[in-house]
């Protein structure tokens, strides 16, 4: 689990409106600078993706990758990962390594890793 100081609990609308986003086939990453000395992360997985056990599995994998790389991620930003629900049937076959690789690549693209 992510430390509580790194969890984004509210203010998602401000980050969505920030217009800083980048996407790949698995998710869209929204990010915005905050005035804190640490980064916070939020994960949005819509019900259209599938049943609760699948949504929770995907969310756990995202959190694990972030927690594993937390020391390398630049501080002072809020991040929201919006998972692509159009891949509904494919999420069952997507491996942990695929998710990890895509998260790391997208963070490098926006120069936050």
Give the residue, 91 or 66, on which the prediction is more confident. 66
For 10-49, what is each residue's pLDDT tens digit? 999 999 998 899 999 999 999 999 999 999 999 999 999 9
Supply the pLDDT for residue 19.
85
Look up the CATH number of the domain holding residue 95.
3.30.230.10
Domain range holding 48? Answer: 4-109
Is the model's pLDDT at 109 over the cut of 90? yes
Q: How far is CA 29 from CA 46, 53, 78, 91, in A?
A: 15, 23, 10, 18
What is the domain count for the chain?
Answer: 1
51-71 pLDDT, tens digit each = 999 999 999 999 999 999 999
Contact 112, 73 (CB under 8 A): yes
- State how far the Cα of 14 lies from the Cα of 113, in Å rounded to an integer: 22
pTM of the model: 0.94
């Amino acid at each position: 689990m992510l430390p509580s100081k790194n969890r984004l609990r509210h203010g998602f609308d401000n980050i969505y409106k920030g217009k800083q986003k980048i996407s790949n086939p698995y998710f869209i990453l929204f990010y915005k600078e905050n005035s804190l000395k640490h980064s916070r992360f939020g994960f949005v997985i819509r019900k259209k993706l599938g049943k609760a056990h699948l949504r929770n599995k995907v969310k756990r994998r995202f959190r694990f990758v972030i927690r594993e790389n937390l020391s390398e991620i630049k501080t002072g930003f809020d991040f929201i990962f919006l998972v692509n629900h159009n891949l509904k049937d494919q999420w069952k076959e997507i491996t942990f390594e695929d998710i990890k690789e895509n998260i790391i690549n997208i963070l490098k693209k926006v120069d936050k890793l």
